[in-house]
Structure 1
Amino acid sequence: MPPTSDPPPIRPGDVFRLTRAASPQFVTPITVRVIRHRSDWSTYQGWAWIECYQLDDRGDATARRELYVMPAGMIRQTESPSPVRRKRRTPARRTSVRAEG
């Protein structure tokens, strides 16, 4: 049997694509940004609890979740989607109208 390497540590801010390789619950893959790896919670060998934000296609957080996953099946995203900056609305300029007379 070839030696297996441990997956890289899960750190806050890391972004992952979760598919069925991470857990059978991800029939439809999702992207998450890690808040915390719950290493203080006991799990089966090869599994982990994470707290994370589920991200939409633009990189905005849509839900906060606690997930039970296999870190070896998590796909690290090298380029994380960054939230889209929304343009700030500037108030309309007021023009004063002088009464003639």
Structure 2
Amino acid sequence: MLPRSGDVIHVTRAASVQFAEPILFRVIRVQNWSTYEGWVWLDGYELNSAGNALERRSIFVQVKGLVTAGSRSVSSRHPHDVRSTRAAA
């Protein structure tokens, strides 16, 4: 499954060899560009360890190599997973 806008992911060598030094990345959008199967262009921000944006980037990565900041693989996340930002009433 593709990451969604707002997801924070760890990008490592498993996603692309260019990330021998892992980065934390907040997704702005997933580009709908034709590319190799299993690969995707992501727009977003590279984050520091405190979660602050360092630089806006576009990265080309394998979806199966992405891991959410909560350590769950993005590709194994189920479509029925729901994130609610509403406070409980």
Q: TM-score, length-normalised on structure 1?
A: 0.67
Which sections of structure 2, spanning at least 5 residues, go unmatched? 72-89
Deviation at 1:10, TM superposition (A): 1.4
Deviations 1:49-87 (A, max 9, x none): 0001000011000000000000100011128xxxxxxxx
Name the structure where helix makes up a greater proportion of residues: 2
- Report how many aligned residue pairs link the two structures: 71
Q: Could you tell me which runs of 5 or more consecutive residues in structure 1 were left unpaired when the two chains were aligned.
A: 1-7, 80-101
1:9 Cα deviation after fit: 2.6
Instruction: Decide which structure has the larger Cα Rg and report it.
Output: 1
Please identify which structure carries the higher strand content. 2
Moved over 3 A (4+): none
Corresponding position of 1:69: 61
**What is the CA distance between 1:12 and its match in structure 2?**
0.4
1:71 partner amino acid = V
2:6 aligned with 1:49: no
Q: How does 1:74-89 map to 2 (within 5 A)?
A: 74-78=66-70
- Match of 1:33, SS state, is strand
Q: Which has the higher contact order (CA 8 A, sep 6+)?
A: 2
% identity of equivalent residues: 45
Aligned match of 1:31? 24
Distance 1:67 1:77 in 2: 17
Q: CA RMSD in A?
A: 1.2
